[in-house]
């Protein structure tokens, strides 16, 4: 904090900063490799970028309790293989699955019921459990309020008994298992159970600490074995809901800076869509309902729907265009016909979740950064010769050699930038939309335009003229 005030004073004296120009908003962004290789550098950049946007979150009077901060990154294979050995099991080379789970810290009965429920549902889904791991944390960096509400933070380590089950198929099995656990926890009135992540690909570390304390609180993050090809980070500024450990971000698919102004309508429409959901990819569609979990904030609800689209096979860029679409018109002369047809099709499948927004998200195949149709939240990006892309709410979040910068800029209204995680290839806004237009524009022919079918002539006014 001393450095913050010192630097702010320098900026004020240089007439490049004015307190009157400040606006409150979350800090969000991503760091990713552009060569498809996991590295410690990506993780350290992600942690440092999160620390750099700490000022975008509120701080309690105790000086240590924050609105929420966290990072989303890939599961480090060697790190967790070592932890499996500690449980007394031998890792057989199968996919490592990790659940990051919050339990009620002071209710031991609820803790035991939660563990039993998790183990029971995973076993029923043909998973074998290696064991539970208490995540090493340092509560001394927490404020009084954060510590009072701190959950018991644990990890369940397990595998699927079918070694051939990998990738999206395994993630779907994990998703359906998690939804069954969540629904049964509500039915059995088990309070305080929250699954931050349950995946074979990625894991989320988050909480109500200050952003600058994340690696001091979660000691795992200091381990050199913690490597990843991407990191999504988020510093929360709580507006519509009170701060809590479970509502800290990133969520499982997106980190969201903004508000959903159409939330009530989106929530009700999702209830309608639930009645029509059908897919052979899942054992029982009823396990996935309700899609939006009870008590979810607007950002958490957006994540619920985004995740469902991802897990059912829609790539992250397409899910973004469905939920947070561009501003477009059939009469537009600047928008290509292919893009018009794409947006027309997407508009017919899902209602827009409108409001100012900047997001960073992943489906574990893509990692993306994007803005809403009005561009009301900032998102800047930099690509370097060091095979790194950095995108976030501000520029200068991490120290980069200016001589090694290939390109940098900002995302305009409705724009998106993405990286294919496996290869590390960067795709620009137009490249992503051109690709998706080729894949999906043909569905546009299935849309029936009612305005052309229902022609109304000589319609009489239904109001009385005033004298």
Main-chain phi, psi angles of 60, to 5 degrees: -70, 165
Closest by alpha carbon to 229, among 68, 30, 374? 30
Q: Shortest CA distance to 270 belongs to which of 236, 293, 242?
A: 293
Task: Please count the other Cβ atoms lying within 10 Å of the Cβ belonging to residue 334.
Answer: 7
- Whether residue 123 contacts residue 72, with contact meaning beta carbons closer than 8 Å, is answered with no
Q: Tell me which DSSP letter residue 293 carries.
A: P
C-alpha to C-alpha distance for 265 and 263, rounded to whole angstroms: 5
Give yes or no for a contact between 338 and 441, defined as CB atoms under 8 angstroms apart. Answer: yes
- Cβ neighbors of 58 (< 8 A, separation 6 or more) are 66, 67, 237, 238, 243
**Using the 8-state DSSP alphabet, how is residue 66 labeled?**
B
Strand, helix or coil at 397? coil
Residue 222's φ and ψ, nearest 5 degrees, are -90, -10
- Distance separating alpha carbons of residues 171 and 364, to the nearest angstrom: 10
Non-local (6+) Cβ contacts of 462 within 8 A are none
CA 23 to CA 432: how far, in whole Å?
Answer: 31
For the chain, the residue count is: 467
In this structure, are residues 43 and 226 in contact, taking their beta carbons and an 8 Å threshold?
yes
Task: Name residue, tokens 């320098």.
Answer: 10
* CA geometry: angle 180, 185, 189, nearest 5 deg: 150
Q: What is the DSSP letter of 218?
A: B
Distance CA(166)–CA(173), nearest Å, equals: 10
Residue 27 CB neighbours (<10 A): 26
Catalytic annotation present for 26: yes
Structure tokens at 332: 């537009």
- Residues 338, 320: Cα–Cα separation, whole Å: 18
Contact, 266 vs 260, CB < 8 A?
Answer: yes
Catalytic-labelled residue, pool 13, 14, 16, 26: 26
CB 290 within 8 A of CB 322: no
Angle of CA points 383, 408, 56, to nearest 5°: 95
Residue 261: count other Cβ atoms within 10 Å of its Cβ: 14
Catalytic positions are: 26
């Amino acid at each position: 904090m001393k450095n913050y005030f010192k630097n702010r004073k320098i900026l004020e004296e240089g007439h490049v900063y004015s307190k009157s120009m400040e606006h409150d908003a979350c800090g969000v962004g991503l760091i990713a490799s552009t060569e498809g290789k996991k590295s410690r550098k990506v993780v350290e950049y992600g942690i440092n970028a999160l620390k750099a946007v700490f000022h975008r979150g509120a701080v309690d009077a105790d000086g240590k309790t924050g609105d929420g901060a966290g990072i989303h990154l890939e599961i480090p294979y060697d790190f967790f293989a070592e932890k499996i050995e500690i449980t007394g099991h031998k890792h057989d080379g199968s996919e490592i699955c990790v659940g990051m789970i919050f339990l009620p810290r002071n209710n031991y009965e609820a803790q035991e019921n939660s563990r039993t429920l998790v183990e029971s549902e995973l076993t029923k889904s043909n998973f074998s459990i290696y064991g539970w791991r208490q995540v090493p944390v340092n509560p001394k960096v927490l404020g009084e309020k954060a510590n009072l509400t701190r959950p018991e933070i644990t990890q369940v380590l397990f595998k699927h008994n079918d070694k051939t089950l990998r990738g999206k198929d395994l993630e779907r099995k994990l998703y359906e298992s998690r939804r069954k656990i969540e629904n049964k926890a509500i039915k059995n009135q088990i309070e305080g159970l929250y699954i931050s992540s349950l995946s074979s690909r990625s894991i989320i570390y988050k909480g109500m600490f200050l952003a600058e304390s994340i690696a001091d609180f979660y000691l795992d993050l200091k381990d050199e074995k913690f490597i990843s090809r991407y990191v999504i980070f988020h510093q929360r500024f709580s507006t519509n809901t009170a701060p809590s450990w479970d509502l800290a971000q990133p969520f499982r698919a997106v980190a969201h800076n903004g508000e959903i102004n159409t939330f009530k309508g989106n929530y009700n429409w999702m209830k309608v869509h639930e009645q029509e959901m059908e897919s052979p990819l899942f054992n029982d569609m009823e396990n996935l309902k309700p899609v939006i979990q009870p008590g979810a904030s607007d950002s958490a609800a957006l994540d619920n729907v985004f995740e469902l689209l991802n897990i059912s096979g829609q790539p992250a860029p397409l899910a973004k265009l469905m939920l947070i679409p561009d501003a477009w018109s059939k009469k537009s002369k600047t928008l290509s016909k292919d893009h018009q047809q794409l947006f027309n099709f997407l508009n017919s499948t899902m209602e827009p979740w409108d409001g100012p927004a900047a997001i960073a998200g992943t489906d574990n195949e893509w990692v993306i950064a994007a803005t809403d149709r009005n561009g009301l939240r900032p998102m800047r990006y930099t690509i370097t010769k060091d095979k790194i892309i950095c995108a976030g709410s501000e520029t200068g979040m991490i120290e980069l050699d200016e001589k090694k910068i290939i390109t940098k800029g900002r995302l305009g209204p409705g724009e998106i930038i993405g990286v294919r995680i496996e290869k590390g290839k960067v795709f620009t806004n137009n490249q992503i939309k051109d690709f998706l237009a080729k894949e999906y524009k043909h569905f546009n022919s299935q849309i029936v335009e009612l305005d052309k079918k229902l022609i109304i002539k000589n319609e009489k006014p239904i109001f009385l003229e005033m004298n």
